Structure 1
Amino acid sequence: MHGTKHHLQKDFFLYNASKARSKTYINMREISERFRLPPSEYVIIPSTYEPHQEGEFILRVFSEKRSLSEEVENMIEAERPSKKKKGKRLSAKAREASEEEKQFRNIFRQIAGDDMEINAEELRNVLNNVVKKHKDLKTEGFELESCRSMIALMDTDGSGKINFDEFRHLWDKIKSWQKIFKRYDTDHSGTINSYEMRNAVKDAGFRLNNQLYDIITMRYADKNMNIDFDSFICCFVRLDAMFRAFHAFDKDGDGIIKLNVLEWLQLTMYA
């Protein structure tokens, strides 16, 4: 694990044996062990006795030699989309996408009407009609409140509705996130667990720290620590929008923004 700064995936533990562990794995308030290890880099992993049980803990490490320690995965960032170069000839896939674009625009026009904008209820109808065709998702569709949140996060002009370009951007994102959800919903239950959510977030191009993963679990998981498709998409829409908002305010790119109370409330209350 030399030099790693990110969350260790399940495969790491399948192919790397532990160098030391407590002799007995029991449910006790305090456990202490003494180990002799050669100089190297190590990861220390505390855990609760029962899976998915949260709890505060103190980890003390006493070393006879000089040692340095830091929390793994303390970087917070989102991958920026790269601009694609336009080709001269359309491939079969591109032509198919172009045809889909026409159908998509026609459907949008029928629902949006003359103003070519849709509100939360109309967005819900569109998304649920499309999602119904994907039987393997095992979802009851999107709640109205979820669609209100999506409208707020995608609405760039403050009209309370989204236009075709905003909707197209949202739909492209949902399609890519849907593939990620299906990849981790291996039992086709319509949910993924909190551990799989970490990997899904990473696959979507987001890098978060442990505190943020805990917040996501508290906000979007049910009592069994499972996240359904509706909550999964809402989480990703919010992550994407909040990163975009931050970068918009961070004009000098130093990773720090300054908001007055009006800007803060507009950003948080509408979203």
Structure 2
Amino acid sequence: MTHTTQGGGTSRLIRGARPIGAGDARDDRKKGERGQKQCRKRSHGGVPGAGGAPQGVDPEAFSWFQAVDADRSGYISVKELKQALLNSNWSAFNDETCLLMINMFDRTRSGRIDVYGFAALLRFIQQWKNLFQQYDRDQSGSISFSELQQAFSQMGYNLSPQFSQLLLSRYAQRSSNPSIQLDRFIHICMQLQSLTDAFREKDTGMVGNVRLGYEDFLTMVMTRML
């Protein structure tokens, strides 16, 4: 099955599944943590709810979890997640983005996520997909330089065109008209948000600049690279 797209259609997000609606990312992480506590002693998570799904897990998300869990381990690995997620041009999500997302919802630090973490991850992806579609003004299925610059501005980042061009050069597929797919958009925004949070912790006066020692800088970057 192919994902039924929204708003002109920009991505076929999951092989064989139609993504669920969006939720707040921080709330989803908390829901995943609560769910993991409930299912820690069970292979596929807690007491079955509607449709055989564990309590607190959407039955549709549980069905997708079972489809993506190729080795039937009760967990989703980076490899399994990568094999499941697609961009609008049918390319698989890149390894770096998949690893970032697994790490974000992996509360056991095992390199895998359970059904609760997976359900939260789906909501997280859908949230970013909705934003991606919003900023993809021409409905091309990718984000161009001008669209990326507008996206940063609307998200509250005061970044120069030179910085946006640097990101485009780093993450866009090489072509005469470079643009960014959904996976790279998620990657960029996750890292930008994380590093901005780290900067704000140091910028206590909210003046837009800080003094950092070399090792402090390295520590800030390394601990925020999810």
**TM class, shorter-chain normalised?**
0.5 to 0.7
Aligned partners of 1:124 and 1:143 also within 8 Å = yes
Find out whether 1:225 has 2:178 as its counterpart. yes
Aligned partners of 1:194 and 1:217 also within 8 Å = yes
- The residue type equivalent to 2:158 in the other structure is L
1:179 CA displacement: 2.3
Q: How does 1:74-223 map to 2 (within 5 A)?
A: 101-108=58-65, 111-112=68-69, 116-128=74-86, 137-203=88-154, 205-210=155-160, 212-223=163-174
User: Cα RMSD over matched residues?
Assistant: 4.2
CA distance in 1, matches of 2:156, 2:127: 14
Cα displacement string for residues 59-103 of structure 1 (whole angstroms, at most 9, x for unaligned residues): xxxxxxxxxxxxxxxxxxxxx9898xxxxxxxxxxxxxx998222
Structure 1 residues 253 and 126 mapped into 2: Cα distance closer, same or farther (>3 Å)?
A: farther
- The residue type equivalent to 1:121 in the other structure is K
Aligned partners of 1:138 and 1:188 also within 8 Å = no
Aligned partners of 1:120 and 1:144 also within 8 Å = yes
Structure 1 residues 164 and 242 mapped into 2: Cα distance closer, same or farther (>3 Å)?
A: farther
Structure 1 residues 195 and 264 mapped into 2: Cα distance closer, same or farther (>3 Å)?
A: same
Find out whether 1:239 has 2:197 as its counterpart. no
1:226 CA displacement: 1.7
Aligned partners of 2:195 and 2:221 also within 8 Å = no
Cα displacement string for residues 127-157 of structure 1 (whole angstroms, at most 9, x for unaligned residues): 34xx6xxxxx344231334312332455455
Structure 1 residues 146 and 242 mapped into 2: Cα distance closer, same or farther (>3 Å)?
A: same
Aligned to 1:20: none
- The residue type equivalent to 2:58 in the other structure is E
1:209 CA displacement: 2.0
TM value normalised by structure 2 = 0.53
CA distance in 2, matches of 1:177, 1:166: 17
Structure 2 residues not aligned, in runs of 5+: 1-23, 28-54
CA distance in 2, matches of 1:220, 1:250: 27
CA distance in 2, matches of 1:220, 1:235: 8
TM value normalised by structure 1 = 0.46
CA distance in 1, matches of 2:194, 2:223: 10
1:169 CA displacement: 3.8
Aligned partners of 2:82 and 2:98 also within 8 Å = yes
SS state of the match for residue 140, structure 2?
Answer: coil
Q: How does 1:22-37 map to 2 (within 5 A)?
A: none
1:163 CA displacement: 3.9
Cα displacement string for residues 32-58 of structure 1 (whole angstroms, at most 9, x for unaligned residues): xxxxxxxxxxxxxxxxxxxxxxxxxxx
Say which one has the larger Rg: 1
Cα displacement string for residues 146-184 of structure 1 (whole angstroms, at most 9, x for unaligned residues): 312332455455322234444444332321222232334
Aligned to 1:267: 223
SS state of the match for residue 180, structure 2?
Answer: strand
